Structure 1
Amino acid sequence: MVKSLYVATLEAHSGKSLVVLGLMEMLLGKMGKVGYFRPVIDQVNSNGADNHIETVINHFNIDIPVKESYALTQDEVLELYNEGKSSEILDRIINTYKTLEKRFDFILIEGTDFYRENNVIELDLNRDIAKNLGSPVILVDNAKGKSLKDFCSSVVSAVRSYKDKGLNILGVIANKTRPENTELVLTEISRELDRGTSIYSVPRHPELSHPTMMEIRDALMAEVLFGEDYLNNQTGSFGVGAMQLANYLKHLSANGLVITPGDRSDIILGALQANSSANYPSISGILLTGGIKPEESIMKLLEGSEPSVPILSVKQGTFATTNAVGNIKSKIYAKNKGKINTSIALFNKHINRQEILEKLETYEPKIVTPRMFQYNLALRAQAIKKRIVLPEGEDLRILQAASNLQKTGVVDLILLGNKEEIEKNAILHGLNLKGIEITDPCSSSKFDDYVLTLFELRKHKGITMDAAKDLMQDISYFGTMMVYKGDADGMVSGAIHTTQHTIRPALQFIKTKANSSIVSSIFFMCLENRVSVFGDCAINPNPTAIELAEIAISSADTAKAFNIDPKIAMLSYSSGASGIGEDVDRVRQATDLVKEKRKDLNVEGPIQYDAAVDPIVGKNKLPNSKVAGQASVLIFPDLNTGNNTYKAVQRETGALAIGPILQGLNKPVNDLSRGCTIEDIFNTVIVTAIQAQEQ
């Protein structure tokens, strides 16, 4: 079952709080521990949170420290965007969410409020957050002040934009609809969307539309003269007391707000008397304008009578005050139990709670974003820290990646090279290498032991002690020997050396696993909505059918080790039985070998790339296949095809390619491209650490 639900809106004042309150009560009644999270809040209030957080946490008594219930403020988001650090926004949100996820069985996530002039950013941000947290979405929109046609069109467009991003819309809530349009809205929206999207409509409710006296006080910065204990009074209509009292009393309405100049003692006293009378409706409060307070004798009279309604005073004139009250957007807040209970009651009445719960129980997230994948990698690496050696310690990219890795605390690192040069380079570029071991192979206390070990391992191949000593001065040999001897758990190299230079020592004495005849490689291709495994794109130029089968099996096992369900596509220029020729026959034979050796694996081949990854093409070309259209492990027929394809996909789609990751060795040694980035090094080290955990 999914562990979270994201509530998103398209604009400010959508009534999203009503939905959050209703969902929270529903979830608490059906699940164990339910948490609450706001990725981005508008601004921090005096209590260190915002109104939404206080309302939900206090009303439902949720055990979350306020500072842990949100990740960023709007100002921080805009600052990071302006500095070109948009990726850091998602990183901080994911980190905060994952901390909460450890404590709760389920987390209700409330999206942003659209109170600022950055709606486009917020629309994209909400979609990205939901996608990266793997959450299905409840989408809320406000029908108030819109034509039926415009509102329905807006909702349908928003749903499609979310679905285009690969997100699952669990339900759509049309909020604040006209009571007479409630059913019509459902019909109009349902006509445009597929049947799998549940549509609900919640009509307007006067209590939720009008502000309380507390909201009026805060919005107008009013002074409370009397009735501090009654600020939660709910207002209804409001009117100006400018006529004679006898005439004004005829215009009083239930929960009405009386707006009058501060020197109109007759209106003030008359309204209070009417509030106590059984013959007139109760008022919610009195708002005195013009910065005028009642005369001393009237104030004394009021003090003695202790009014049961708030009396507020503002500096604005009557006309400006009346307009300001009319423009107040009412909110739900922690102390107003009436609005909270009304919201929950409305939700329960108009939303099919059982339908939502059933959808949550059966929903399985299919999206794996690059950031989700990277975060989970780091989490796994951190669980059992491993020591990874980086032989090319004098390369600046290696130093920068090492510094970044050290900050995360996910691995322990060893840099090989001249210590003085490495430290000088780090200082020059402002890098912190504290806690990282730096070893110069030639002056290492283990050098002689490593030389002797290499000699013993390779003397049957004719190596001499002098040759072993010369080889051990090579950083690749020294680093690989550290792994062999257990002084390091894995090695990552190749930033400035060839693949052959990196893996030759590993083939000589770390050697391949008992069930492997070759070393092969894969790339984790982190596309927008999924992570695919590409192999072999770096090592074997022209594998035989037997080698192709082994590459496929090794790649499937690697996929499983990294929580990717392996569905293997053996790629060729034709699909199924349509093609003939030596190349396609080799792929067909390899596919048969995989099926024979590993009956637990789903494999299809030969199959073309488009049929492997596109559900429509796959169903058309191979309708009975369990792999076509949904392949997660793609095996290329030769290195030429594989290397060019992974680079084309990476460049054209902006996909993150992690690798090459070597398979088949007894201990993890991984190769870098000489054009690798700092992020490539960072990711490859983490993958190597996880591989070391599996040894």
Structure 2
Amino acid sequence: MQTFFIAPTDFGVGLTSISLGLVRTLEHAGLKVGFFKPIAQPHPGDTGPERSTELIARTHGLKPPKPLALAHVERMLGDGQLDELLEEIISLYQEAAVGKDVLIVEGMVPTRSASYAARVNLHLAKSLDAEVILVSAPENEVLTELSGRVELQAQMFGGPKDPKVLGVILNKVRTDESMQNFAARLKEHSPLLRSGDFRLLGCIPYQADLNAPRTRDVAELLGAEVLNAGDYEQRRMSKIIICARTVVNTVHLLKPGVLVVTPGDRDDIILAVSLASMNGVPLAGLLLTSEIVPDPRIMELCKGALQAGLPVMAVTTGTYDTANRLNQLNKEIPVDDRERAQIITDFVAGHLDADWLHQRCGTPRELRLSPAVFRYQLIQRAQAANKRIVLPEGSEPLIIQAAAICQARGIARCVLLARPEEVHAVAKAQDIVLPPGLEIIDPDLVRERYVAPMVELRKSKSLNAPMAEQQLEDPVVIGTMMLALDEVDGLVSGLVHSTANTIRPALQLIKTAPGCQLVSSVFFMLFPEQVLIYGDCIMNPHPDAQALAEIALQSADSAQAFGIAPRVAMISYSSSHADHSDEEVEKVREATQLAREARRGLLIDGPLQYDAAANENDARQLAPDSQVAGRATVFVFPDLNTGNTTYKAVQRSADCVTLGPMLQGLRKPVNDLPRGAQVDDIVHTIALTAIQADTLS
């Protein structure tokens, strides 16, 4: 599915109008189009549904999800909960995308009170892996200034050469020349648009009639008293005249669509307006100011005009103040003005590059899994798996809090191994609400029943009952036995236990999965725009070629299981396929070949230097014929020293969050928490474990 993110360059560019036209254009191409406005931005006085969403629903018959309230968004941003906010938005995005070929996502509009809008738009576009279309409205500026302003905005999303930054739509273009001539002249003055990387996707001329509100809307926005409604539902205000002059100097201004503003004691103007109306001039209406009520005898003379549909309204403010208020009226389309919405929709659609947009939607493009989408899918899949996960460090405050969250949200059925009184004391002290169904098992009460099964599992190693009893003093061993006996589906530990203490019982009691000769690990590296996999970073110090090949295959399977298209780069300090002089490089080359033979359809290449694997520009120089170079999603390091050092360096130095390690190759899932894990890390590790359990079953 294609996602277009519509981002304004400034306030007042007509973003809703562009969204309406884009949906119509793509619908005409035969595509199933959806719309999503993630964050509501109501105008002062708006009390009903969010304007863009409601207009799209009424004009196109769509049912977009309800946007998040602005106050809720600002509260989450203020609390530093950007990731959680993006996950909420991804959930709504998934709802909007069901059954659609293309989704239009409308970004936030920067205002004085929403100066953070540009930053939020950047995070939204990246999280949704969307292609960005800028929307701008030329001001009183030369064309080179307009081009510079657009380019500055494009830089925020990666620059005009970024393949996901498609181009710009110019709205409200005020010029006497045709749009074709204006566009040609703009391209002459704009290196940005001449490059071919960044396109002019539409040029919509300014049309005053498109901004004409109904007379009813004017009355409501001013809070005017309606003396005669007439045709105020149908008539529109395209121009305002303030009548301070004589009738003779006013008559020529009485034209269709004009709203006449005059004090209530200007009988001459009232009569002239009525005569014009009775002669068939469809004026927008008559607005009387200064809280002056016309003489009833004058209104009786105007009866014919009133019956012919002339709207008459009155306000308490003076003419000057009323004129100022009229000039400040919100020109957005009211949600119930379907006629105006339809006219604007067709007008905008008629000025967009429909052929190119349709072709773009038909261009296959592999979607990158952004961190927000990854986390959202992680939680959704874990909830669907409904697995029982044991947590041996059950009295630790962070573990209790994470277990409570997982239980409450249905991420997993958690089992805390701890004395119940300790758990309740911690929960009370930390103000943690323990949800119904959260299991707490006292290790002292169940330890004895695992002695005999453990002796049986370890009889080849001459384990006896006293030795088993001693080892079962460790709650991690009890949890591992619960997993071995299928009482739970997975285990998560390591907050206070060492990695060795978490993994050793699993290797002894769970053992490797069928077809696996070793256990390895991967980290999910959550970069701003996509999620990559690094392996092996904690398990195998010096793998030989056979072991390295197996690590590559396990890591590719993990990528596939979590929605990441596996393109495996076997990392080395050399990308040369001709150099056979170094044993380490040769090991990587041999491992690559072994993995290819074992999995014919897998995209894997090596040896590759890291920069060649990760960067498309470097890949063109260092490995021009590789299908993996520059596009790798799975990075397999030649040894533990390289892998562990690299993941920590990237984690600390780059804008990257890590999730893991996740163990792979075990018969049942056991996962070790990273040092310094926080509640979110534990929740996501529990979710990972639940999904692993579902995949292995």
TM-score exceeds 0.5? yes
- Name the counterpart of 1:320: 321
- Name the counterpart of 2:642: 641
Are residues 242 and 164 of structure 1, via their aligned partners in 2, closer, same or farther at CA, if it must alter by over 3 Å? closer
Q: Secondary structure at the match of 1:649?
A: helix
Correspondence 1:78-97 to 2 at 5 A: 78-97=74-93
Q: What CA distance in whole angstroms lies between the structure 1 residues aligned with 2:254 and 2:552?
A: 80
Q: What is the letter of the counterpart of residue 78 of structure 2?
A: N
- Name the counterpart of 2:510: 510
* Cα shift at 1:171: 4.3
Are residues 112 and 217 of structure 1, via their aligned partners in 2, closer, same or farther at CA, if it must alter by over 3 Å? farther
Contact 1:455 1:465 in 2 (8 A): yes
Q: What CA distance in whole angstroms lies between the structure 2 residues aligned with 1:441 and 1:240?
A: 85
Correspondence 1:499-578 to 2 at 5 A: 499-577=499-577
* Cα shift at 1:228: 5.6
Say if 2:126 is the partner of 1:131. Answer: yes
Correspondence 1:222-301 to 2 at 5 A: 222-227=224-229, 229-277=231-279, 281-301=281-301
Q: What CA distance in whole angstroms lies between the structure 2 residues aligned with 1:90 and 1:157?
A: 25
Residues 403-412 or 138-147, more deviating: 138-147
Contact 2:26 2:354 in 1 (8 A): no
- Name the counterpart of 1:679: 680
- Name the counterpart of 1:156: 151
Q: What is the letter of the counterpart of residue 10 of structure 1?
A: T
Q: What is the letter of the counterpart of residue 612 of structure 2?
A: A
* Cα shift at 1:138: 2.9
Q: What CA distance in whole angstroms lies between the structure 1 residues aligned with 2:399 and 2:34?
A: 40
Q: What CA distance in whole angstroms lies between the structure 2 residues aligned with 1:168 and 1:70?
A: 24
Q: What CA distance in whole angstroms lies between the structure 2 residues aligned with 1:33 and 1:573?
A: 48
- Name the counterpart of 1:43: 42
Q: What CA distance in whole angstroms lies between the structure 2 residues aligned with 1:302 and 1:167?
A: 64
Contact 1:227 1:308 in 2 (8 A): yes
Structure 1 alignment gaps of length 5 or more: none
Residues 77-86 or 248-257, more deviating: 77-86
Contact 2:25 2:352 in 1 (8 A): no
* Cα shift at 1:102: 4.0
- Name the counterpart of 2:16: 17
Q: Secondary structure at the match of 2:542?
A: coil
TM-score (norm 1): 0.93
User: Which string of whole-angstrom CA distances, capped at 9 and with x for unpartnered residues, describes residues 565-616 of structure 1?
Assistant: 1111111111123653222222222222222222222222222111110111
Correspondence 1:485-500 to 2 at 5 A: 485-500=485-500
Q: What CA distance in whole angstroms lies between the structure 2 residues aligned with 1:452 and 1:566?
A: 43
Contact 2:369 2:563 in 1 (8 A): no
- Name the counterpart of 2:182: 184
Structure 2 alignment gaps of length 5 or more: none
Q: What CA distance in whole angstroms lies between the structure 2 residues aligned with 1:651 and 1:113?
A: 33
Q: What is the letter of the counterpart of residue 68 of structure 2?
A: A
- Name the counterpart of 2:58: 58
Q: What CA distance in whole angstroms lies between the structure 1 residues aligned with 2:576 and 2:360?
A: 36
Q: What CA distance in whole angstroms lies between the structure 2 residues aligned with 1:164 and 1:219?
A: 41
Q: Secondary structure at the match of 2:394?
A: coil
Contact 2:540 2:640 in 1 (8 A): yes
Q: What CA distance in whole angstroms lies between the structure 1 residues aligned with 2:617 and 2:87?
A: 34
Say if 2:466 is the partner of 1:470. Answer: no
Contact 2:171 2:203 in 1 (8 A): yes
Q: What CA distance in whole angstroms lies between the structure 2 residues aligned with 1:57 and 1:47?
A: 17
Are residues 134 and 302 of structure 1, via their aligned partners in 2, closer, same or farther at CA, if it must alter by over 3 Å? farther
Q: What CA distance in whole angstroms lies between the structure 2 residues aligned with 1:187 and 1:628?
A: 41
Q: What CA distance in whole angstroms lies between the structure 2 residues aligned with 1:420 and 1:329?
A: 61
Residues 626-635 or 353-362, more deviating: 353-362
- Name the counterpart of 2:208: 206
Q: What is the letter of the counterpart of residue 20 of structure 2?
A: L
Are residues 167 and 327 of structure 1, via their aligned partners in 2, closer, same or farther at CA, if it must alter by over 3 Å? farther
Q: Secondary structure at the match of 1:5?
A: strand
Contact 2:151 2:159 in 1 (8 A): no
User: Which string of whole-angstrom CA distances, capped at 9 and with x for unpartnered residues, describes residues 622-675 of structure 1?
Assistant: 111111111111111111111111011011113111111111111111112333
* Cα shift at 1:83: 3.1
* Cα shift at 1:547: 1.0
Correspondence 1:399-438 to 2 at 5 A: 399-434=400-435, 435-438=437-440
Residues 492-501 or 216-225, more deviating: 216-225
Are residues 412 and 462 of structure 1, via their aligned partners in 2, closer, same or farther at CA, if it must alter by over 3 Å? same
Q: What CA distance in whole angstroms lies between the structure 1 residues aligned with 2:230 and 2:554?
A: 72
Q: What CA distance in whole angstroms lies between the structure 2 residues aligned with 1:152 and 1:328?
A: 30
Q: What is the letter of the counterpart of residue 258 of structure 1?
A: V
Q: What CA distance in whole angstroms lies between the structure 2 residues aligned with 1:17 and 1:359?
A: 22
Q: What CA distance in whole angstroms lies between the structure 1 residues aligned with 2:573 and 2:631?
A: 18
**CA-atom RMSD in angstroms:** 2.4
Q: What is the letter of the counterpart of residue 121 of structure 2?
A: N
Q: What CA distance in whole angstroms lies between the structure 1 residues aligned with 2:165 and 2:185?
A: 18
Q: Secondary structure at the match of 2:362?
A: helix
User: Which string of whole-angstrom CA distances, capped at 9 and with x for unpartnered residues, describes residues 286-316 of structure 1?
Assistant: 1212222212333455567435132122222
* Cα shift at 1:229: 4.2
Q: What CA distance in whole angstroms lies between the structure 2 residues aligned with 1:101 and 1:501?
A: 44
Q: What is the letter of the counterpart of residue 40 of structure 1?
A: I
* Cα shift at 1:470: 2.1
Contact 2:230 2:309 in 1 (8 A): no
